[in-house]
Amino acid sequence: MQMTLRWYGSRFDTVTLQQIRQIPGVTGVISTLYDTVPGEVWALERILALKKEVEDAGLTLAGIESVNVHDAIKAGLPERDQYIDNYIATLENLGKADIHLVCYNFMPVFDWTRTELARVRPDGSTVLAYTQEAVDRLNPEEMFSSISGDTNGSIMPGWEPERMEHIKELFDMYSTVDDEALFANLKYFLERIMPVCDKYDINMAIHPDDPAWSVFGLPRIIINKTNILRMMKMVDNPHNGVTFCSGSYGTNLENDLPDMIRSLKGRIHFAHVRNLKFNSPTDFEEAAHLSSDGTFDMYEIMLALYDIGFTGPIRPDHGRMIWGEVAMPGYGLYDRALGAAYLNGLWEAIEKSHKSKIKL
């Protein structure tokens, strides 16, 4: 595996490439052109400039998170073909720039959903948190305004104010889309983009829905083992793969994370590894990465990745806000650096104990 950190680009991120370069064992970043909108073609020159900037700092550009999918594609509207053509053109340019990993999601309207961006934990750190009760009390517009005061001045991915202004139209767009229709629209999209992925060896890595159930009545399908295996089969091409995000699949305590990882051998192209602490099955907060700080056994998650021979990029996912840092919620430097060091430590121990067993 290659340890990486997500980086939003020098115009948007409070964390610098130089800082990332100094985290032991972090050799690459996962980045994006954060100012593009879904449906737009990414210019080759801009991709190459991003790559050069990252490489000049002594890191590799290990992949893109995300090239977002336009809602017309997810909702299956007649204009989807034009947007898929544009997506293909973007993939073509990424391929020409020698980039081989694209993370994306297929969640209607929103990306991840949290009800608090700065819940205070007993140690004084602040974290993203979710309670179903709060979602049930609010409508989507209210939720956007209730969290927008805690973003530390950042634009949260998937919650861009321009999109939120059109939230009613976005909801209308999905009024006839149920889970089956969403599966069919995803299949249509994947079948059209696979040829360009084959040509340039681009691994598409779908990110799970977060939380892993329907919110505000919208359909959500990338939520559990059954559905993700269905998706792998429905377009059975190794370039159709997944981002295994422990913090997203893990929102549903019925998901057995190590078992899911083992069932996806060969199809996990990217891993997000983080921990959650559950206060009840529908109230969770994003703990430190350390197993004992949350609910998941991080050793078992890393062991499963090791066992399936995972070689792709991995990154600590959201971190807590600690030591007075002011950054995009979930995306500060300090706690993600601690997370990367911890995950690297687990990996080293797993690797060495396997090698010593082989010698015996």
Give the range of 17-25, 105-113, 231-239, 288-296 binding ligand CS2 by CB under 6 A.
105-113
Give the residue, chosen from 182, 193, 212, 245, that forms a contact with Mn ion under the rule CB under 5 A: 245
- Catalytic residue status for 331: yes
Binding string, 293-322, against Mn ion, x = CB under 5 A? ------------------------x-----
- Find how far residue 79's CA is from the centre of its chain: 26
Q: Which of 272, 289, 315, 320 binds ligand CS2 (CB under 6 A)?
A: 272
Of 328-357, binders to ligand CS2 (CB under 6 A) are 330
Nearer to ligand CS2, 127 or 350 (CB): 127
The answer to whether residues 20 and 332 touch, using CB atoms and an 8 Å cutoff, is no
| Least gap, CB of 84 to Mn ion (angstroms) | 24
Q: State the binding string over 55-74 for ligand CS2 (x if CB under 6 A, else -).
A: ----------xx--------
Pick from 7, 112, 183, 200 the residue near ligand CS2 by CB under 6 A.
Answer: 112
Alpha helices in the chain (DSSP H): 17-21, 44-56, 71-75, 80-96, 132-137, 140-148, 161-165, 167-173, 179-200, 225-234, 246-249, 257-263, 298-307, 334-359
Mark whether 197 is an active-site residue.
Answer: no
Task: Tell me how far CA of residue 114 lies from CA of 130, 151, 271, 287, 332, in angstroms.
Answer: 5, 12, 21, 14, 17
Which residues, numbered 133-162, are part of the site for ligand CS2 (CB under 6 A)? 157-158
Q: 């370069």: which residue's tokens?
A: 21
Q: Does 336 help bind Mn ion (rule: CB under 5 A)?
A: no
Smallest distance from Mn ion to CB 339, Å = 12
CA distances from 263 to 51, 124, 207, 315 (A): 33, 38, 16, 21
Is the Cβ of residue 40 or residue 307 nearer to ligand CS2 in the bound state?
40
Secondary structure (H, E, C), 69-96: CCHHHHHCCCCHHHHHHHHHHHHHHHHH
245, 301 in Cβ contact below 8 A?
no
CB of 248 to ligand CS2, least distance (A): 7
Q: Looking at beta carbons only, is 159 or 347 nearer to ligand CS2?
A: 159
SS3 label, residue 237: coil
Closer residue to Mn ion, CB minimum distance, 39 or 330? 330
Neighbour tally for 353: CB within 10 Å: 11
**Residues touching Mn ion, count (CB under 5 A):** 3
Question: Is 103 known to be catalytic?
Answer: no
Burial 63-96 (b: 16+ CB within 10 A, else e): bbbbbbbbbbbbbbeeebeebbebbbbbbbbbbe
Q: Among 70, 100, 207, 269, which one carries the catalytic annotation?
A: 207
Rounded (10°) CA dihedral 36, 42, 43, 45:
80
Q: Please report whether residue 272 would count as binding Mn ion according to CB under 5 A.
A: yes
Distance CA 116, CA 113 (A): 9
Q: Report the site for Mn ion in 55-84 (rule: CB under 5 A).
A: none
Q: Does 111 bind ligand CS2 (CB under 6 A)?
A: yes
| Shortest spacing between CB 270 and Mn ion, in angstroms | 9
Of 59 and 314, which CB lies nearer to Mn ion in the complex structure?
Answer: 314
Q: Shortest gap between Cβ of 114 and ligand CS2 (angstroms)?
A: 9
Report, as residue numbers or ranges, the catalytic residues: 207, 245, 272, 317-318, 331
